[in-house]
């Protein structure tokens, strides 16, 4: 059985999620108190495994809330990358229109792969 856990950095988490995390943390503390009392008095020891399982579930719920926050930032980062790629592609297209030069990327590869598929 682990300790009560370290402090969690809740910056950037919406108020409703912080409330949910605080509620789970409160339940975790209550369960640890129940376990400590049960071990001290010898009463309700049959519930210890149940309380420990609930503590793991509460911690898992807290981690899900935090992981979703991370996923949100990953999605935001991906959107920013896509936006930059679209802008870069637009600039390339405009530069190509100015020079009226065709882009011959495939022609550059042709010499390297010529004959590579002959045995297929």
> Where are the chain's structural domains?
15-101
Tell me: pLDDT of 33 over 70: yes
More confident residue, 3 or 19: 19
More confident residue, 93 or 112: 93
Pick from 67, 7, 9, 5: nearest CA to 31: 5
How distant, in Å, are the alpha carbons of 54, 56, 65, 69, 107 from that of 60? 10, 6, 9, 14, 54
Distance between CA atoms of residues 49 and 58, nearest Å: 14
pLDDT in tens, 54-104: 999 999 999 888 877 767 777 778 888 888 888 888 888 777 776 666 655
* Joined tokens for residue 90: 């637009």
Per-chain mean pLDDT for the chain: 79
- Which residue, chain included where needed, has tokens 């369960």? 31
């Amino acid at each position: 059985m682990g300790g009560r856990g370290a402090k969690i950095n809740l910056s950037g988490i919406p108020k409703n999620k912080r409330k949910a995390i605080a509620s789970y943390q409160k339940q975790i503390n209550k369960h640890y108190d129940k376990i400590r009392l049960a071990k001290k008095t010898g009463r309700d020891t049959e519930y210890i495994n149940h309380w420990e399982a609930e503590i793991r579930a509460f911690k898992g719920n807290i981690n899900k809330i935090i992981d979703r926050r991370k996923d949100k930032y990953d999605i935001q980062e991906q959107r920013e990358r896509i936006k930059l790629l679209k802008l870069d592609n637009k600039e390339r297209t405009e530069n190509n229109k100015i020079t009226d030069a065709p882009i011959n990327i495939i022609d550059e590869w042709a010499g390297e792969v010529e004959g590579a598929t002959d045995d297929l």
